[in-house]
């Protein structure tokens, strides 16, 4: 768990999957709180009004190794498999919300909503992952299933919450460093400098996000979920 000197968590997720960050002493501020008319609250009142609260924690090593193993097995299909796993979970949560089974569709980004990794993963999983989900030969089926299982457990656990976008990027980077970099983790259609890529800007955005590289110029923006932005990437993905 990431904590401040006072021992309280730096970030929390409430019962509605709204993220909160500590601003002073025992007081928390909601991500996009002003836009959502959510006032700053001391933790006791926050717990009373929007509990149970879950601290945002570091990934457990057993889960981290399971993610690394899935990515290694996927090989050059790793990047595509990760996006498809996140896309399918997001679609599952959205469908449950529309059917009235679960009112909270946005579970995947509550750990640090609006951060650059969250912006990128939300856009890329929705746009690129949705397309790749229709192209099963570009994904590793077992890796997709395993990644989906693990990520679901991170965001639906009863006692804590693991931030999805930054954690996935960090673990992906670790595996990529062992496998020769991006070329060992993504197929030819996801290589920004390749001869067959049709949307090099999107491929570069994906590489930058998953390898923890600086945001490409002009790519940062408001959260796709909160403000309708697209993380600077637009246009159709290659057929």
Taking the complete model, does pTM exceed 0.85, yes or no?
yes
The pLDDT value recorded for residue 203 is 94
In tens digits, the chain (239 residues) has pLDDT values of 454 545 899 999 999 999 999 999 999 999 999 999 999 999 999 999 999 999 999 999 999 999 999 999 999 999 999 999 999 999 999 998 888 777 676 799 999 999 999 999 999 999 999 999 999 999 999 999 999 999 999 999 999 999 999 999 999 999 999 999 999 999 999 999 987 877 899 999 999 999 998 766 544 433 333 333 345 443 333 33
Write down the H helix ranges in the chain. Answer: 43-50, 61-74, 78-98, 116-124, 130-132, 141-156, 164-178, 200-210, 224-227
Neighbours of 46 (CB within 10 A): 21
The pLDDT value recorded for residue 101 is 77
């Amino acid at each position: 768990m990431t904590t401040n000197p006072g021992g309280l968590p730096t970030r929390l997720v409430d019962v509605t999957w709204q993220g909160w960050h500590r601003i002073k002493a025992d007081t928390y501020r909601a991500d996009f709180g002003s836009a959502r008319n959510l006032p700053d609250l001391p933790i006791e009142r926050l717990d009373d009004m929007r509990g149970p609260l879950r601290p945002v924690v570091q990934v457990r090593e057993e889960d981290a190794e399971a993610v690394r193993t899935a990515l290694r097995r996927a090989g050059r299909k790793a990047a595509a498999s990760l996006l498809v796993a996140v896309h399918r979970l997001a679609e599952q949560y959205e469908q449950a919300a529309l059917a009235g089974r679960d009112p909270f569709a946005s579970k995947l980004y509550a750990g640090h909503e609006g951060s650059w990794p969250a912006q990128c993963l939300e856009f890329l999983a929705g746009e690129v992952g949705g397309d790749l989900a229709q192209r099963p030969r570009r994904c590793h089926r077992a890796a997709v299933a395993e990644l989906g299982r693990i990520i679901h457990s991170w965001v639906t656990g009863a006692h804590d919450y693991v931030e999805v976008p930054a954690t996935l990027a960090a673990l992906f980077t670790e595996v990529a460093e062992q496998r020769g970099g991006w070329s060992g983790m993504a197929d030819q259609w996801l290589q920004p400098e390749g001869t067959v890529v049709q949307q090099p800007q999107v491929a570069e955005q994906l590489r930058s996000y998953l390898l923890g590289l600086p945001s490409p110029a002009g790519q940062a923006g408001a959260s796709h979920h909160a403000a309708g932005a697209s993380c600077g990437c637009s246009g159709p993905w290659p057929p």
